[in-house]
Structure 1
Amino acid sequence: MKRLVSTLALMWTAWQAQAADPVRVDPPHRLPDTVLRVLPPTAQGRSYQLHVHLPASFASQPQRRYPVLYVTDAYWDFATLVASYGNLVYDRVVPEFIIVGLGYAGDGLDYDALRLWDLSPVRLPNEKAESGHANQFLATLEQVVLPLVERDYRADPAQRFLAGSSLGGLFALHAMYAKPGLFQGYIAASPAVVAGGDWIIGQAQAYAATGKPLHARLYVTGAEYEWPGFLAGIQRYQALLPTLKHPGLVFQNRTIDGERHAGTKAESYTRGMRFVFEPLAPETGPSKD
């Protein structure tokens, strides 16, 4: 009993000292092993910012090159991927890799309007903001972002991967058909297939008609409790994939049970990373004794 009273007294004294310090400023919480890179404005006046997470071995292995996972909507999704990454590396089901979040530089930004411009491959007339510039954004990635990351962060140009959710997922699918070979794997979490009246399905069918290969791994999800029409579009694309018979494409479809549109991200990204990086993983399957 005396020990308990003594402990409580010490806690009370510490709390009083803290409360009496008017200049105390607690440091902000930061994600370890991360940096921000603000890029010069593009010719179109777009100001992009990269959120970069580096592997634990990055500093100690200066000759090593790493795979890279690029993810759209970094202001929302970057931290989610970084949190899952540590768990997956610990379990040895993915290799060490770099995560690069694609975002925008500046304060007080309208992310909805900015992403609509960049991530939609087709103009969406019912939206308030301008849309349909995915090809410009893809060109910026190819000509500016990828060379920078591969130069400054020892990224492996033969091991690029792209992930995104909703419009970001649609952008990932568009990149796969518009620039095959630019990335080696794609995670399309709840992609906005319905945009432009299933426009991406038409692109998939047109690409399949050429008979050209798609040497990539693709992971596509929808959420059980998405808006019904939105989920129906995803399901149409998922059902179409096996019939397209894209040579070289290895894909997996999944419906995340019990989740709505945004809640599906954590599981979609975690399982998606496991799937697209499986050929590079130190171990696969159940834990080994």
Structure 2
Amino acid sequence: MEIRLIKSHEEKRKIDEWIVDEKEPDYSYRILVSQPKEPPPPSGYPVIYVLDGNAFFHLVEETNGLQSRRSDKTAVQAAIVIGIAYPGEKYFAPDRRFFDFTPPAVSNDLPPHPRGGEWPENGGADLFLNFIKNDLKPFLRNQYPICVSSQTLFGHSLGGLFTLYALFTNPGLFTNYIATSPSIWWNNQAVLSERHAFLEKLEKVNFKPRLFLSAGSEEKEYMVTDPKELAVDLQRAANSRLSVGFFEAEGENHLSVVPATISRSLRFTSGSDS
């Protein structure tokens, strides 16, 4: 694996673009890094990792920049924002994200594809998580002044599913987890089977992670009830070891829910529940 810098420019913030060249060209990554211009705190900047970076990197980094201007009111600190994206300019790369964001599944357990045909190759979440944990995070720590005790993972839809999978299987890997409209339905809600082992793993984490769940009221009913019920369940089972928030955005659909909730989610994960 090779990671090379291909572009760097400054506007409101300094933005670098890296390419991760894997042995298989179809599995390369485009990594976008936004760094505040102000000097970092002694412990380094908080960091926000954004899945589906082509679609959501700029939204998150602009929102963080605006919120952090009044950190005395919002508790949101200026952060390094890292978009994990794919080569090209399309918002989403369906085949890649299906593979990266989904835990292993038996094909017979999957529902029919809503648009007909076969599901893309899936079940690569463990490989993707290992890439983030063992390759990407150590590399970026050596390049940027990152605070190791304030790290957030953001994912939407299938990315929200992956965010929950990362929390359940590696609860100490990030400090905060933001899962917007998570696809808990995938593989008959198989991700929920990780909860019991998760509670045991959580006992060994020496800090209290924060999880923010959200959905739009105009989404399919299960896209709202699944995260809402999960929030209630986790609050009951792990309240002393995990901070959990849920917000249903009135009038928002599966995509509009992201800009409608990102400010609230950043405030929650920064320690402000309002």
**Bucket of the pairwise TM-score, normalised by the shorter protein:** 0.7 to 0.9
Measure, in 2, the Cα distance between the counterparts of 1:231 and 1:190: 7
Shift of 1:45: 5.9
Measure, in 2, the Cα distance between the counterparts of 1:246 and 1:42: 43
In our comparison, the structure showing a higher alpha carbon Rg is: 1
SS in 2 for 1:278: coil
Q: Is the 8 A contact 2:203 2:241 kept in 1?
A: no
State how 1:23-102 maps to structure 2 within 5 Å: 32-41=13-22, 46-58=27-39, 65-92=44-71, 93=74, 94-102=76-84
Tell me which residue corresponds to 1:113: 95
Structure 1 ranges of 4+ moved more than 4 A: 42-45, 61-64, 106-110
State how 1:205-244 maps to structure 2 within 5 Å: 205-208=196-199, 212=203, 215-244=208-237
Spell out, residue by residue over 1:43-81, the C-alpha distance to the aligned partner (whole angstroms, 9 max, x if none): 7962011111111215xx597621110010001011111
Count of paired positions: 251
Q: Which amino acid aligns with 1:99?
A: V
* Contiguous gaps of at least 5 residues in structure 2: 1-10, 111-117
* Contiguous gaps of at least 5 residues in structure 1: 1-29
Spell out, residue by residue over 1:99-119, the C-alpha distance to the aligned partner (whole angstroms, 9 max, x if none): 000011246797011100001
Is 1:159 the counterpart of 2:150? The answer is: yes
Measure, in 2, the Cα distance between the counterparts of 1:200 and 1:134: 11
Q: Is the 8 A contact 1:213 1:248 kept in 2?
A: no
Identity over aligned residues, as a percent? 24
Tell me which residue corresponds to 2:85: 103
Q: CA 1:265–1:130 in 2, change beyond 3 Å: closer, same or farther?
A: same
Q: CA 1:113–1:87 in 2, change beyond 3 Å: closer, same or farther?
A: same
Larger relative strand fraction: 2
Tell me which residue corresponds to 1:170: 161
Measure, in 2, the Cα distance between the counterparts of 1:211 and 1:47: 32
Measure, in 2, the Cα distance between the counterparts of 1:135 and 1:44: 20
Measure, in 2, the Cα distance between the counterparts of 1:162 and 1:211: 17
Measure, in 2, the Cα distance between the counterparts of 1:32 and 1:157: 21
Q: Is the 8 A contact 2:168 2:194 kept in 1?
A: yes
Task: Choose 174-183 or 31-40, whichever is displaced more.
Answer: 31-40
Q: CA 1:119–1:42 in 2, change beyond 3 Å: closer, same or farther?
A: farther
Q: CA 1:211–1:172 in 2, change beyond 3 Å: closer, same or farther?
A: closer
Measure, in 2, the Cα distance between the counterparts of 1:140 and 1:97: 22
Tell me which residue corresponds to 1:248: 241
Q: CA 1:65–1:83 in 2, change beyond 3 Å: closer, same or farther?
A: same
Spell out, residue by residue over 1:27-48, the C-alpha distance to the aligned partner (whole angstroms, 9 max, x if none): xxx7752121111215796201
- Over the residues paired in the alignment, what is the CA RMSD in angstroms? 2.7
Measure, in 2, the Cα distance between the counterparts of 1:259 and 1:108: 23
Measure, in 2, the Cα distance between the counterparts of 1:222 and 1:143: 31
Measure, in 1, the Cα distance between the counterparts of 2:178 and 2:43: 25
Tell me which residue corresponds to 1:6: none
Shift of 1:245: 2.1
Q: CA 1:227–1:54 in 2, change beyond 3 Å: closer, same or farther?
A: same
Tell me which residue corresponds to 2:3: none
Shift of 1:205: 3.2
Q: Is the 8 A contact 1:73 1:103 kept in 2?
A: yes
TM-score (norm: length of structure 2): 0.82
SS in 2 for 1:177: helix
Measure, in 2, the Cα distance between the counterparts of 1:254 and 1:62: 31
